[in-house]
Structure 1
Amino acid sequence: MSSPAFSQALHVLQQVFGYPAFRGLQAEIIANAIDGHDALVLMPTGGGKSLCYQIPAIVRQQQGRGLTVVVSPLIALMHDQVRALQQVGVAAQCLHSALDFAQAQSVLAQARSGQLTLLYAAPERVTSAPFQDFLAALYQRGQLALFAIDEAHCVSQWGHDFRPEYRQLALLHERFPQVPRLALTATADAVTREDIIERLQLQQAQCYVSSFDRPNICYHVVEKSDARRQLLRFIEDEHEGDAGIVYCQSRKKVEETAEWLVQNGIDALPYHAGLPADERQRHQDRFLREEGLVMTATIAFGMGIDKPDVRFVAHLDMPKNIEGYYQETGRAGRDGLPADAWMAYGLADVVNQRRMIDDPQSPASEAHRQVMRAKLDALLAMAETTECRRVHLLAYFGEHSEPCGNCDNCLFPPETWDATEAARKLLSCIWRVQQKSGIAFGAGHLIDILRGKPTPKVEQHGHAQLSTFGIGADLGERQWSTLIRQLVARDAIVADAASFNTLRLGPAAKAVLAGTQPIRLRVASEKPARGNGSLRRATPSTSSARDAQLVQLDAAARQRLQSLKAWRAEVAREHGMPAYVIFHDATLLAIATAQPGTLDDLRGISGVGEKKLQAYGEEVLRLCR
């Protein structure tokens, strides 16, 4: 690509941000925005999405077009973006509820006078009458350069982070039709994309869809046995001393898991919306600024967390859908270095998610429930598959791929067995139990009948006289539990909405009973495997992501890297900011490897722009010497 817009953009990329070249679709997206056109941008976390509006903002201001307004949903996200921009010499500020009146007026005054390149604000503020008046005044003077709507999936009811206030952002196009708009998100399936386009009136916009693949992330799913123990083994075996995020469904479970990890020697903190605001902020600041912390959290934590060296994301409970799973796991390995996505799930997870969708108290329409069921089913298919998990994950977003070699199924292909006949026995047992007793029973009781165990409950209800009593004695409890979970996922078994402990036949049971729908399952061991995590192909000396970073370094380079990290931590503490805002780990690793001797040598390293070269160059060279 060669055009004046591209040349200007490339100059900014190299001089301001310190990167030698654009990645993927960045160049096209940025040139399109500089030329004043709308766009919908789908780009994975860690793919350089922010540069797609930051560089056009800088170039368009240089062209005399004025201020770029960035709509961002979270204060933490705004702060991180602004601090990072200020570090590279870009004039940026944010407006949020934590500012007092005088501080907010000062920010607006800077924007009016042309001192700012980017102004970040929440959707509630952007759509408020006073802010609209402020924008109108800039618009009349021709000083509105660009609107960037970040986390654009929040506008869609089908998105995993729906925010009603995002719906009002269509007025930006209605009131300021000459100002180009960029809507950006890391996660949106076809239905969500269509909703974003309609809600934000982007029918004429160019749509850019990057690959959703995060090849540095290794996906691993385990069946729950003792989930906390499995998690602990995973952290101890694969990520000792690494930063990570552990997602739990409930606030209570978040606190209990964090406390339990601390008792077992893991430096962990809880985070959920029920904690006092100052405690949440303190925990988030520690996670961003310190190394090796594990944040145990609900999904209230994470959107916009730019910490690049998160080495793992673990789920102790299954998310609602693939978008949520993809967004949350995408917070690992933003620096491009090896990272792990680990999830433990079981029958209770499947049943619980189905119960929430089918809850009769929910105001959701049946059409909405059907979409939510389809989204959950896609995640279940990814979790249950015996084939490449990445292939399933990317296919959901409409992207074809080949087996990746970097998920548990690719690294260690599971042994499978034909469970079709066992499934027919199970469904037959459910039918006969209900015929005899007139009520539904739970999974444990059904398994006891199938395995021929004369428990007091079995005897009480006369279920030892059923023809299905003992017909499944050849299979273990774990195998039957896995099969029940599979059949719930396929709608052959339905969990009773009133009580998730009871199961009945579902709409897909008929095809399974008729033998027209084959069922294949992975072989389940009665003694579950250790909760090992990344399973990436590695030599014994590189079993963790941290070791993988160091394997190519000699002793002197390792010492340089440690010195650089210690220096970075000190500078970050002095300035009260996360260490990665100074330099990413990947940049320090490149510096330690290259051992630059001059400022020109250092200038050629990715992530070292002119402003950082001036601020830190001599000190970095001293450390390298």
Structure 2
Amino acid sequence: MPLTKEQVLKQYFGYDKFRPLQSDIIDWVLYGQDALVLMPTGGGKSICFQVPAMVMSGITIVISPLIALMQDQVRGLLANGIPAAYINSSQTGSEISLIEKRCKSGELKLLYISPEKLFSPGYFDFIKSLNVSMFAIDESHCVSVWGHDFRPEYTQLGILKKSFPDVPVIALTATADRVTRKDILNQLAIPEARVFVSSFDRPNLSLAVLPGRNRIKIMQDFIQKRANQPGIIYCLSRKNTEDVASALQKVGIRAKFYHAKMNPEDRAKVQDDFIKDNYQVIVATIAFGMGIDKSNVRWVIHYSLPSNVESFYQEIGRAGRDGLRSDTLLFYTFNDLKMRQEMLDQSGLPEEMKETQLAKLERMKQYSEAEICRRRILLSYFNEETTEDCGNCDVCRNPPVRFDATILAQKALSAIVRTNENIAMGILIDILRGSRNRKVVEHQYHEIKTFGAGKDLKFEEWADYLQQMLNSGIMDIAYDEGHSYKLNNRSRAILKEGQKVELVRFEPYDVKKARKEEEYPLERSKKEIIRDALFDRLKFLRKQIADEADIPAFVVFSDATLSDMAQKRPINKIQMLAVSGVGEQKYLQYGERFMNEILNFARENSGTGSRIANGMTYVETFDLYKKGLSPSEIARTRGMNEITIYSHLAKLYEDGERINLEEYVHTTELKKIIRQAEIMNIRKGEPLKPLFEALNGQHEYHKLRMALAIWERNK
């Protein structure tokens, strides 16, 4: 009998229920229909083809663009007990031949392959010889010239539908606007495919934007507050990646850089070490990360402005793939924006595409300068309506305080005029603050009327306000003239007509940070401290196991699974399989070691004044029971009421432990209690008082509890 999709989800992936849309998508594919699936990174796209692959007969062919991506996914599938393999250029001919034989014999359920390999001479004929149940096109936005990561080899994939008209095709991507979606369907020759669009909302991701000053200091502080939490820093240039990594290393942060010009072996090692948690931080260009299946990335920083919202959203989506709270931070400067514009101007793209990309950059600018909920801006971009602010972005947490800055702006603009529009930010601030440095005196700027007109403001305050003025179009900048400020029509209206200017009140980074720490206090309850201590122990064990097997830690268990494990603290098979993300194969491989670690932790913390809540007290009772002590002896040893010990034994029995409850309840009593429970249709967990009264109080409560436990297991 083939497994149902629900059975596959539980047995192989360890989840009790599907996420929104997953079940509908799987049903649609199982009906033999084509689909385009849009789900945010971490939304569960892979489940949409991996589960039906296990339900259907035959083999599912997964088209994947990157070797690292297919290796990660296959590693995860094998860890879950799913027969899968990949074929790419990193393998020898004999390795590939062995995999092909397994495909032919029907042993494999999923085969990952790159489009280059798929269309290499004669290889498509091999695919035709297989019993193909489905084609899955991962990262399908690569097929579209309108997408943010176009790959020419993807455009050949339309032949799949033409050659296999009865085999369903499922295309998957994390980001695609309306134009890109339509192009994907046409390029893949599935124009009538049903489009499933999941919510793009990732409420576990906090969103923040900061001005691009003191970036290194801010990042160092940010990362040190997140000790041992893996993260990614995206930079625009190769030099940036090397400089930033070096600066972080100097303060003791385990960081490595990654970019396309590195030696391929070095690049692969850096990526592999990061995935295995050997480094905390990877500083990379966008060459890193597409489809990287590392679920425990806790934060993403953009050192430079991304070129479009799609790229930005996909990159921040690499944080918190496991659903746990994660942070994102974008540094924004007008200089980055102009650099992006110049790169597009010099790109050689056709004018139509250039205009589209410039428009997308403008949307990125709007997000960065937003004074409304940032998440609403992102969701709106992907055509998703929302009527409420998120409460988890910097704008929601700290609504900007605006003030009338007309006179302040006039002072700055006047100084620009009086210096013949030939000065950059630094010298302008020196003039406004009345600094008689060599350059000011040399050019006689100390003699102009506005010299010292802004000495009431600190240098960093003027820098912030000038950046805001530039971003809002109050003045222009000439990068080809030493970054000199220039007046425009709006500048003149402010100077001559007194047009009103409003700016956001400056706040130092330390003030913003302090407020954030007030909103998210570090004080934790005793229960939270113990849970977090157990989580850290389980993480350490996971790393040991991963290192032994030379696999990434998250392949053993995700952070979300370890968090649930630390919360539920399973000590037997039934409890362990109830942990989200623990399937049969994972239990067989790792269950005993993690349960033993939990038991050891419980014993170490027992009787120290920090007793572990929710079930850990049963561990000590069970240990004494296994040593042969009677309930009364256990009660004396532990200094507890005997009735409580009977309650522990009943709970342990319900959880599947080998405990002989029948020796504590006489057969006659047992039959009488169960008969009355059946009459009253008593359910597990209901109050025992009605049953106690129905039996005229002849049987003690602990005997009722044990009798019902026996009845429940027998049922």
> What is the TM-score when the length of structure 2 is the normalising length?
0.75
Q: Which amino acid aligns with 1:278?
A: E
**Secondary structure of the corresponding residue to residue 56 of structure 2:** helix
Paired residues, what number? Answer: 598
Q: C-alpha separation between the residues in 1 aligned to 2:569 and 2:97?
A: 46
* Among candidates 255, 264, 270, match of residue 277 of structure 1: 264
Name the residue aligned to 2:183. 195
Post-superposition shift, 1:521? 3.0
User: 1:506 and 1:47, CA in 2 relative to 1: closer, same or farther beyond 3 A?
Assistant: farther
Contact 2:162 2:189 in 1 (8 A): no
Determine helix, strand or coil for the equivalent of 2:122: helix
**2:392 is the alignment partner of 1:406:** yes
1:372 is aligned to 2:357: yes
Q: 1:70 Cα shift?
A: 0.9
Inter-partner Cα distance in structure 2 for 1:265 and 1:536 = 23
Is the contact between residue 406 and residue 502 of structure 2 (CA under 8 Å) also seen in structure 1?
yes
1:205 aligned residue: 193
Q: Is the 8 A contact 1:407 1:535 kept in 2?
A: no
- Answer whether contact 1:233 1:532 (CA < 8 A) is retained: no
Deviations 1:361-405 (A, max 9, x none): x21233222222222222222222222221222222122332111
Q: Does 1:77 align with 2:69?
A: yes
Amino acid at match of 2:538: L
- Distance in 2 (alpha carbons) for counterparts of 1:205 and 1:42: 13
Q: How does 1:165-244 map to 2 (within 5 A)?
A: 165-236=153-224, 238-244=225-231
Residue 93 of structure 1 is matched in structure 2 by 85
Q: In the alignment, what sits opposite 2:505?
A: 523
Q: Quote how far apart the aligned CAs of 1:570 are.
A: 2.2
Whole-angstrom CA distance in 2 between matches of 1:289 and 1:136: 37
User: Which of 282, 303, 310 is matched with 1:295 structurally?
Assistant: 282
CA distance 1:162–1:429, shift in 2 (3 Å): farther
Deviates more, 1:291-300 or 1:304-313: 291-300
Instruction: State the partner residue of 1:25.
Output: 21
Q: Is the 8 A contact 1:245 1:313 kept in 2?
A: yes
Structure with bigger gyration radius: 2
1:349 partnered with 2:323:
no
Is contact 2:429–2:459 with CA below 8 Å preserved after alignment? Answer: yes
| 1:406–1:536 contact (8 Å) kept in structure 2 | no
User: Could you tell me which of 345, 348, 372 is aligned with 1:358?
Assistant: 345
Contact residue 72 and residue 151 of structure 1 kept, 8 A: yes
Cα distance change of structure 1 residues 551 and 76 upon mapping to structure 2, 3 Å threshold:
farther
SS of the residue 2:129 aligns to: helix
Paired position in structure 2 for 1:415: 401
Q: Which moved more, 1:277-286 or 1:470-479?
A: 470-479
* Counterpart in the other structure of 1:621: 595
The structure-2 alpha-carbon separation of the partners of 1:19 and 1:391, relative to structure 1 and needing over 3 Å to count, comes to: same
Equivalent-residue separation in structure 2 for 1:621 and 1:456 (angstroms): 70
For 1:60 and 1:511, the matched residues in 2 are separated by 69
Q: Mapping of 1:22-61 within 5 angstroms?
A: 22-61=18-57
Deviations 1:143-163 (A, max 9, x none): 111111111122223322222
Identity within the alignment, %: 41
Does the Cα contact within 8 Å between 2:256 and 2:279 map onto a contact in 1? no
Which of 584, 601, 607 is the matching residue for 2:581? Answer: 607
- Does 1:390 find its partner at 2:371? no
CA distance in 1, matches of 2:43, 2:571: 31
Secondary structure in 2 aligned to 1:70?
A: strand
What root-mean-square deviation, in Å, do the aligned CA atoms of Structure 1 and Structure 2 show? 3.4
**Displacement, 1:504?**
4.6
Residues 230, 531 of structure 1: 8 Å contact kept = no
Amino acid at match of 2:393: C
- Name the aligned partner's letter for residue 28 of structure 2: N
What is the SS of the residue equivalent to 2:52? helix
Alpha-carbon distance in 2 for matches of 1:520, 1:392: 22
CA–CA distance in 2 between the matches of 1:511 and 1:128?
64
Deviation at 1:190, TM superposition (A): 2.8
Q: Deviations over 1:340-374 (max 9, x none)?
A: 10122223222222221223xx2123322222222
- 1:136-175 aligned at under 5 Å gives the runs 136-138=128-130, 143-175=131-163
| Cα distance change, pair 109–488 in 1 and its aligned pair in 2 (3 A) | farther
* 2:568 aligns with one of 589, 594, 612: 594
Q: For the structure 1 residues 158 and 465, does the alpha-carbon distance in structure 2 shift closer, same or farther, using more than 3 Å as the test?
A: farther
Q: Which shows bigger deviation, 157-166 or 214-223?
A: 157-166
Q: Which runs of 5+ in 1 are unaligned?
A: none
Q: How does 1:455-604 map to 2 (within 5 A)?
A: 478=460, 481-482=463-464, 485-486=467-468, 489=471, 495-496=477-478, 498=480, 501-504=483-486, 520-525=502-507, 527-529=508-510, 532=513, 535=516, 540-541=521-522, 552-553=527-528, 555=530, 557=531, 560-604=534-578
Q: Say if 1:276 and 1:235 are closer, same or farther in 2 by CA, change over 3 A.
A: same
Q: Give distance in 1, aligned partners of 2:517 and 2:195.
A: 34
- Structure 2: how far apart are the matches of 1:100 and 1:417? 67
1:192-242: CA deviations, max 9, x gaps? 323323333332011111111111111121112221011111112x31222
- Hey, what does 2:306 align to over in structure 1? 319
Partner SS, residue 577 of structure 1: coil
> Displacement, 1:114?
1.6
> C-alpha deviations, 1:504-544, integer Å up to 9, x for none?
5679879989989976432124x5436849937755335xx
Q: Indicate conservation of the 8 Å contact 1:244/1:292, yes or no.
A: no
Does the CA-based 8 Å contact 1:354-1:373 persist in structure 2?
Answer: yes
Q: State the TM-score, normalizing by the size of structure 1.
A: 0.86
For 2:137, give the aligned amino acid: I
Q: Distance in 2 between matches of 1:45 and 1:514?
A: 51
2:607 corresponding residue in structure 1 = none
Q: Which amino acid aligns with 1:593?
A: Q
Structure 2: give runs of 5+ residues left out of the alignment: 600-715
TM-superposed deviation, 1:479? 5.5
Matched, 1:328 2:318: no
- Equivalent position SS for 2:510: coil
- The answer (yes or no) to whether the contact 2:465–2:506 under 8 Å persists in 1 is no
- Higher-RCO chain (CA-CA 8 Å, sequence separation at least 6): 1
Aligned partner of 1:386: which letter?
E
Classify 1:193/1:429 alpha carbon distance in 2 versus 1 (closer, same or farther; 3 Å).
farther
| Secondary structure, aligned partner of 2:239 | helix
SS of aligned partner of 2:540:
helix
Distance 1:509 1:192 in 2: 39
